[in-house]
Every structure is written in structure tokens, then in C-alpha cells.
Amino acid sequence: MHTAMTSAVSLTGFWMIFLMSLHSVDLGETKPYSLNEPDVPFPPAYPTAQSLFAVCHQGQGRPRYPNNFFPRAGASHFRRRGTAVNLMESWFDFCCSGVPAQDSSKILCCVQQAWRQALSMFCIGEYSTMTLVYQCCEDKGDTRWSCFNQNPINPDYIAKPGYTATAVAVQDGLFYFNSSIC
């Protein structure tokens, strides 16, 4: 009886290890999130003088999030993140090649305003739902911006190798660049 019990315990241990190993195997179909949620790295970093060249010249190499990137149902929080990134990137384009670019001293100020406005709109979207709000949106003023920049994704705005951004429709006319505060 002692041998049968030892064998049963050993067999149970073997199956537990096997199942745990199988659970952690990457089958190439999983995404980084446990519920196969879309991967939208967030929050974007606050643009600095050090990152300005990459912000302006590597924009087409940073991910965009078209509607078909997201599942048809659910993932609304990730959709709001993607929308914020898409808006911010389109406004960076404006800052780097539009009217502000005619005065190079204003480009950094413009991209910083674009970053704040895109994240402000993200927070407005967060409060329009019945779900938990992104933590930084609960803060006000400089505390909010410090929170968003605490653990930014891609702080140097480096392009993703081999990636070319797809065209994403964004709402025009929402960005207001205030050159008088630069």
C-alpha cells in the first residue's frame, strides 16, 4: 500500500508540473496581457529637447492604432489609449512640419502642448465611462503630468525597427497650439 501511495503522489506531482509547464509555453498566439487584450504601450513620454529629433523625424516608425487593431467588442480602455497616441502623433506632425516649424524655437513647446492635450482628452474619455479611471487622470495640474511621465513607454521616442505607421484617421481641428506661452 505504501508503494501505491508513493506512486500516486509522484504521478500527481508529475501532472502538476506538466500542466504548469504547458500553461507557460508560448504557442506564438498569445499577447502580453492575460486576456488577449490589445497591446497599446502607454503612457507616452513627455517630449524633451533630447527626444525632439526622434519625435519629429522618426514618427512614421512608431505604432499607430487603427480601429481594426482592436477587437469588435470590449477593450475600450485600450481603444482610448490608442486614440490618445494617434492624436498625439498627428499633432506632433503638425508641430514638426506645420506653422510652428517655421520658428524652430517653438517646436518643442508645441509638441509638449500636443502631449498634454492628447492626455487631457484621454482623461476626459476615461471619465465618460462607468469603469475605473486611469490613475493619473485623478490628479490635477502638474501632478497629473508628473504621474503620466513617471513610467513612460519609449522615453526617447525611438522608432520600432522595420515598422511603418499606417494611416490613421484622426479628428482634425482639435489641437490648439498657443504660441504665446512658449
d(CA 137, CA 148): 9
Number of other residues whose CB lies within 10 A of the CB of residue 44: 24
Q: Give the pLDDT confidence score for residue 48 in this predicted structure.
A: 96
Output the CA torsion 109→179→100→83 (10° steps). Answer: 60
3-state secondary structure of 172: coil
Confidence of residue 20 (pLDDT cuts 50, 70, 90): very low
Quick one: which of 108, 137, 119, 123 has its CA closest to 175? 119
Task: Determine which of 24-28, 80-84, 98-102, 164-168 has the lowest per-residue pLDDT on average.
Answer: 24-28
Cell matching residue 103: 520658428
Burial of 170 (0-12, 13-18, 19+ CB in 10 A): middle
Please name the residues in contact with 94: beta carbons below 8 A apart, sequence gap of 6 or more: 100, 110, 114, 175, 177
pLDDT at 127 over 50: yes
Quick one: which of 64, 62, 70, 42 has its CA closest to 136? 42
pLDDT at 158 over 80: yes
pLDDT at 32 over 50: no
Q: Given CA atoms 107, 111, 117, 120 in this order, what sign does their dihedral have?
A: negative
pLDDT at 96 over 60: yes
pLDDT tens digits for 58-80? Answer: 999 999 998 888 888 778 889 99
Number of other residues whose CB lies within 10 A of the CB of residue 112: 19
Q: Give the pLDDT confidence score for residue 25 in this predicted structure.
A: 36
Whether the Cβ atoms of residue 147 and residue 43 lie closer than 8 Å to each other: no
